[in-house]
Amino acid sequence: MKKIILFGDSIFNGFRNGQDTDLVTNLFQKGLKDYAQVENISKSGATTVEALDYLHLIPQKRDLVVVEYGNNDAATGWGIRPERYEQNLNEILTKIGKAIVVGLCYPDPTNSEINQFYGDKRLDLFNDIAKKVAAKHSAQFVDILPAFRKLTDISTYYQKDGQHLTDKGNEFLVNQILPAIKKELD
């Protein structure tokens, strides 16, 4: 059986009511059925700065790592400079090897509280960096930002904080990524 490692922030942790859950892990496991074992070592609140410190947590025996960092990096209130994000993501992918890179998740555009830390230009900038770094490392890139932007009734995909996803949002997220995982493991 193949082993998939989820390596990201609170989006991959199914963050809900102030704590991490197994929601996203379970959705990936359900989507991969008996094809792969899913292990989630994501850290809520982390940027790529912390991800570099967590690389040692990635098991040596694995078939694929799905990397999902960028939203916290892009946040103006607690994030990092774009150049640092690019440098960190390059280092992460160099050390990981075979990986899929997931682009940035779109915050609820109707939530002004969370959107004060983002903006379409900044989200696009960091998403483009992730896409460029993935290409440099010959890693598949899953561009979820445009998919989220196309949603109607978008607020139903988010919790009240405007950043973390509801059950519906988590299902949408996982369904965007599963085809890339299956393609990579075929």
Tell me which residue range forms the domain holding 106: 2-185
Quick check: pTM over 0.75? yes
pLDDT score recorded for residue 160:
93
pLDDT score recorded for residue 40:
98
The CATH number of whichever domain residue 41 belongs to comes to 3.40.50.1110
Identity at 75, one-letter amino acid code:
A
Give me the number of domains the chain comprises.
1
CA 155 to each of CA 131, 141, 160, 181: distance values in angstroms, whole numbers, following the listed order? 26, 25, 9, 27
pLDDT in tens, the chain (186 residues): 999 999 999 999 999 988 999 999 999 999 999 889 999 999 999 999 999 999 999 999 999 999 999 999 999 988 899 999 999 999 999 999 999 999 999 999 888 888 889 989 999 999 999 999 999 999 999 999 999 999 989 999 999 999 999 999 999 999 999 999 999 988
Strand partners, 19: 16
Q: In what order do the strands lie in the sheet with 99-102?
A: 36-40, 2-8, 64-68, 99-102, 140-142
